[in-house]
Chain A
Amino acid sequence: MIFKMAIRNVVRQKRRSILTGLAMTVGFVLMSISLGFNYGGYGRMIELFTRSSTGHIQIHYKDYLDNPSLFKTLNNPGEIEKVLQQTPFIKGFAPRVYGGALTFLQNKSTGVSLVGIDPQKESKLTTIKKRIIQGSYLESPDAHQVLIGKSVASVLKATLGDELILISQGADGSIANDLFKVVGIMGEVDAYKIFLPISVMQEYLSLQTKVHEYTTIIADYQQSTVFADKLKKKLPNLDIRPWQIVEKDFYKAMKADEQGNFFFLGIIMFIVALGVLNTVLMSVLERTKEFGILKAIGSRPMHIYNLIVIESQILAFTSIVLGTILAIFANWWFIHNGIVFDPPISYGGVMFDEMVSTLELKVFIAPAVTVSVTSLVVSIFPGIRAARIVPVKAMRVV
């Protein structure tokens, strides 16, 4: 009976219900959109970041990451590749070799970091091809060709087709020296890097078939930590880390940023809560006389309390349903029409040109919980107030 009364109360006072409901709906949609941008934005950021070079899970020799050295290599790449191929959650992997070198062109020279990549696998795994601003990608796995960073190119005054000299220390103590043809120039992110085919680099540094790193991509980056643990069981003697640990600084900065955003979400929530409190409280004050009469004809305080709580919950529920529909449209729209950054901003060495939303379930659940809980909480105080009403006094109120 109380439920029926509550519905009638809500429907009868249309203007008040609409206003309260609207406050909740708007609050819900706002929260959902900002959450959408939060997760969507970071999701995209992570996707872009991990896809630029890090990947989702990396494999190294024991302490290579903390203390890299030419000699800390994975010596049995064949076995590792076999395991990776047989692991269903690994969607792709690519080997890499790292090193440093001095590079010369005519009378100019500079220090660079070398990255040996498998041209075919790397281009499937990362955005390396897209980062080329001039020229083309490495053509074959055994040509003496290099992609050079923007800064390397400008320091050496190198253009496409130039032959660079690279001098480094080989793994057998020899002085590695050879000529490499520039086929492409890379953008900002790879400013001081030189990419070359991995087999060429292994020969250049006398590394045979040894590699320094395997990076892998899995279906869902959010599962990186879980799958890294699973992979550890298959490759027990190696260092296997998800991107969150490999890119500690990026991850921490991102987390801090996210915390800041949640703070703003909290403020939005608070404003919504205030609005709801206001309307519920007003509706109780407005109906003091009504509650007085209810009491006079024998309602128990608990009934009146429940009535008010249920009323606000009905409103909250309606707002959530309505808000979800609106928020789906809003977020959907923002997925396809993200906020464009012009010029793009660089974050952790990756360029972000667009902020987009997402349609993940949690984008709707969190605001729904917030709205229903706040409406519940804010209705407690007016509910108690109404329940405690003294009929005689209340009925005198105009």
Chain B
Amino acid sequence: MKFLVIFLLLPTAFANTLSVKEVMEKFDKLYRSTSSYCEIDMLVETKNWKRTLGLKIWTKGMDNTLIHITSPKKDAGITTLRRDKLMWNYFPKINKVIKIPPSMMMGQWMGSDFNNDDLVKENTFLNDYRSKFIKEEDKEFYFIESNPKSETVSLWSKVITKIKKSDMLPIEQSFYDEKGVKKRIMEFSKIEQLGGKLLPTTLTLKPLSKNKLGNKTVIIYHKAQFNLPIKDSTFTRASLQKRR
């Protein structure tokens, strides 16, 4: 989820040889910068149903995220707060804040293919994974294999990120489980100028496991602002229940 929530594109000039660290740091911050405000549509499609959620997202640093659902009407007002490793959902209709317990971390977020873990843990590749270049002979793309560090709790044993060398924007990310089976794939497309930088504005997450094959979640960025001032109080439980 950090993919969608973060990101900062630093000045586009790059030296020819970047270290893995530098590449992954750029990726980590692509949609987040130091702070961000985004408006996105999340299209969730399964064989049984299809729906579109309108979301507003505030982030600050790597640890604070507030997601507010604006549409459809039925769900409007539902808000998710993630602070450090904790996560709450607020339901205005019943005026109740529900903490997402660790056991629910693998549960889907609002029925999408993103799980709560994607939102909360959101380990950074820089800090929580060991990354290395693979297929170094490729001229056009970087291929980076990232493995979680031993102390990192992750669903994945391996994540392969494909990044275009010329603009440093991600093309595709594949997630492998502990058996080495590819479980889901995330595609980045439609590069546009947004919030002062070039970004892939469409992210498509496709689970590959048997029972979810054919499902997908598409995120479309409509509006983004980066490095704007956001108060720390935005990311508190009191703010969670505030009408927006």
Residues of A bordering B, CB below 8 Å: 71, 104, 165, 167, 169-175, 177-179, 206
Cβ-defined contact, A172 with B93, below 8 A: no
Cβ-defined contact, B112 with A206, below 8 A: no
Shortest beta-carbon distance from B94 to chain A in Å:
4
Whether A175 touches B94, Cβ cut-off 8 Å, given contacts A71-B48, A206-B74, is: no
Shortest beta-carbon distance from B105 to chain A in Å:
16
Cβ-defined contact, B46 with A173, below 8 A: yes
Tell me the count of chain B residues lying within 8 A, CB to CB, of chain A.
Answer: 19
Chain A contacts of B126 at CB under 8 A? none
Bound-state Cα–Cα, A206 to B75, Å: 11
Shortest beta-carbon distance from A30 to chain B in Å:
60
Whether A179 touches B78, Cβ cut-off 8 Å, given contacts A173-B46, A174-B51, is: no
Any A CB within 8 A of the CB of B196: no
Shortest beta-carbon distance from B114 to chain A in Å:
12
Quick one: closest B residue to A174, CB to CB? B75
Bound-state Cα–Cα, A165 to B90, Å: 13
Shortest beta-carbon distance from B112 to chain A in Å:
7
Cβ-defined contact, A174 with B48, below 8 A: no
Bound-state Cα–Cα, A92 to B50, Å: 35
Any A CB within 8 A of the CB of B168: no
Cβ-defined contact, A171 with B49, below 8 A: yes
Chain B contacts of A179 at CB under 8 A? 93-94
Chain B interface mostly:
loop
Any A CB within 8 A of the CB of B8: no
Chain A contacts of B50 at CB under 8 A? 172
Quick one: closest A residue to B48, CB to CB? A71
Residues 85-123 of B contacting A (Cβ, < 8 Å) = 89, 91, 93-94, 96, 98, 108, 110-112
Bound-state Cα–Cα, A170 to B49, Å: 10
Other CB < 8 Å A-B pairs besides A174-B74, A174-B111, A206-B74, 16 of them? A71-B48, A167-B98, A169-B111, A171-B49, A172-B51, A173-B46, A173-B49, A174-B75, A175-B75, A175-B78, A175-B91, A175-B110, A177-B91, A177-B94, A178-B94, A206-B49
Shortest beta-carbon distance from B72 to chain A in Å:
8
Shortest beta-carbon distance from B171 to chain A in Å:
28
Quick one: closest B residue to A179, CB to CB? B94
Bound-state Cα–Cα, A371 to B162, Å: 91
Shortest beta-carbon distance from B87 to chain A in Å:
14
Chain B contacts of A169 at CB under 8 A? 111
Any A CB within 8 A of the CB of B44: yes
